[in-house]
Amino acid sequence: MGYDRDDILEQIEKNIPTKCERCGARLYFKGSGRYVCQRCHIDYYDDFGLIKKYIDENGSAPAVEISVETGVKLEVIDMLLEKGRLEMPGELKEAERCERCGALFPIGRYCKECIEDTSKGIMNIFKNEEAQRRKFAISKQARDKETKDKYEKDRMHYLNHIKDQW
């Protein structure tokens, strides 16, 4: 999965709340990605806090699901895993991440669903290619016949009535 580390770090910093949306007061960091307004007592969360809150409420989940439910980009989740701020459950520590969708799976480069989708796509390409080949073959035969007919008409030949006059 390719992503620019600096862009992701910049996005993480950009998503840190600093002011209360209701009253505009400064937010205070309370730990684990949680910020609190001293006036309104409303909790705000940065990307890490959103992920932590989701996992606390729902238990461990695939990164793709967490990304969809929290709105935190998958690249940010990967960065937090790399930095050691998040950890995968024991059975998934040795897992690989699908290069297409980001799902975790035990071995390989692509998960089962992506492999199936890709194979269906390839089969459709071959079917379309075969149909195009047949269509081209038919049109080629028609073009060849047309060329042959034209060649027969334009071919040099003796004219019998002129030959008799000599």
Each residue's pLDDT tens digit in the chain (166 positions)?
Answer: 455 667 767 767 777 888 888 888 888 888 888 889 989 888 888 888 888 899 889 888 888 888 899 988 888 888 887 777 777 766 555 567 777 777 766 667 777 788 888 888 777 777 777 777 777 777 777 777 777 776 666 666 566 665 555 5
Whole-model pTM: value is: 0.49
47-75 burial code (b ≥16 CB/10 A, e <16): bbbbbbbbeeeeeeebbbebbeebebbbb
The answer to whether the CB of 50 falls within 8 A of the CB of 44 is: no
Structural tokens at position 118: 């890709």
Alpha carbons 63 and 61: distance in angstroms, whole number? 6
Cβ-based neighbours of 60, under 8 Å, separated by 6 or more: 88, 89
Cβ-based neighbours of 9, under 8 Å, separated by 6 or more: 79
* Beta-sheet strand order (sheet of 27-31): 27-31, 34-37, 43-45
> How much is the pLDDT for 1?
45
Alpha carbons 70 and 126: distance in angstroms, whole number? 39
The answer to whether the CB of 8 falls within 8 A of the CB of 75 is: yes
The answer to whether the CB of 106 falls within 8 A of the CB of 96 is: yes
Cβ-based neighbours of 113, under 8 Å, separated by 6 or more: 101, 103
Structural tokens at position 160: 């019998």
Alpha carbons 104 and 126: distance in angstroms, whole number? 30
